[in-house]
Amino acid sequence: MSVFRVLEQFRVSGAARMTGTHRFSAIGVAAATGAATLALGLAPAGAEQATPSPGGKPASAPVSLPGEQAAQAEELATGQGGLRAQFSGSYQQAQAEAREAAAEKERRAGEKAARAEEKAEREAAADRDSTRERAADRSHDRGGWGDGGNWGERDRKSLERAYEREQRGAASYPDNLDGWIREALAIMEREGIPGTYEGIHRNIMRESSGNPRAINNWDVNARNGVPSKGLLQVIQPTFDAYHVEGTKYDLYDPVANIVAACNYAADRYGSMDNVDSAY
């Protein structure tokens, strides 16, 4: 019953003439009734009323969140999940973009290196062409080696040798016995000197054990003042007679020593391959 309904009943029954004490009691009843009504109005729908305890005190009612607060909590949780998903997506996108940027940087670096290598090759080719042209011009200015100043076979071979020397200089050989033999074989092929890797290596190991500074100070050549030197133990007069143009004029130079010795062996024995003892 509402407060106004209680007051109305008092008014109808002549409560307007009640004493002050009665008025106070009526107001108290109305207030109590209103409070109860208000409490019932605020209780959640379907909630059970508290059952008094045996001692007379009301038992605690189950506590639950109002529907609006539950909805707000659910909305907040949903929003937080959305933020986490959005942050995760942004992080993954940033990682993908970083990987793409790194790959692009690596690709550009590779293209730059390829362009630099291509440029170096073009410049080297241009230098080789220029060298051949200068050699041809010098030969032409001297009238050439052919009859009547015309170019002949020797002119062509000289230019070819100059070009091959340049190419040989550009080639890279290791500074060891294997590299010395292979470089000597390249020169021998150009000059038409016979010999194989096996034949050269076999004779080097017998004569000097692969030491390019080896020298014989005890045999007859040494007693005659011309000791054998180098990888293939060549004496100076033999080296002077069989030295090949394009190699160093140094008896101790490994490549020059091999080529001169093989040139001498080809003249005396047909090839260094045919030598199996002191020669």
Per-residue pLDDT tens over the stretch 4-39: 554 455 455 544 444 444 444 444 444 444 444 433
- The whole-angstrom separation of Cα 159 and Cα 172 is 22
CA-based end-to-end distance of the chain? 141
Query: How many of the other CB atoms lie within 10 Å of CB of 226?
Result: 14
| DSSP assignment letter at 225 | T
Task: Quickly state the pLDDT bin for 147 (edges 50, 70, 90).
Answer: very low
Vertex 263: Cα angle to 259 and 267 (nearest 5): 170
Q: Which residues contact 1 (CB under 8 A, 6 or more apart)?
A: 33, 37
147-161, 199-213, 223-237: lowest mean pLDDT where?
147-161
**The pLDDT of residue 277 is above 80:** yes
Are the CB atoms for 272 and 195 separated by under 8 Å? yes
What pLDDT does 153 receive?
66
What pLDDT does 247 receive?
95
Two tokens at 125? Answer: 């080719």
Q: Which residues contact 58 (CB under 8 A, 6 or more apart)?
A: 50, 51, 52
15-19, 149-153, 185-189, 236-240: lowest mean pLDDT where?
15-19
Task: Quickly state the pLDDT bin for 191 (edges 50, 70, 90).
Answer: very high
- Please compute Rg for the chain using Cα positions: 56
Task: Quickly state the pLDDT bin for 119 (edges 50, 70, 90).
Answer: confident
What pLDDT does 97 receive?
87
Specify the DSSP element, H or E, that contains 185. Answer: helix 177-191
Question: Which phi and psi (to 5°) does residue 58 adopt?
Answer: -65, 140
Are the CB atoms for 194 and 178 separated by under 8 Å? no
- The whole-angstrom separation of Cα 118 and Cα 80 is 57
**The pLDDT of residue 107 is above 80:** yes
pLDDT tens string 41-51: 444 444 444 44
What pLDDT does 96 receive?
85
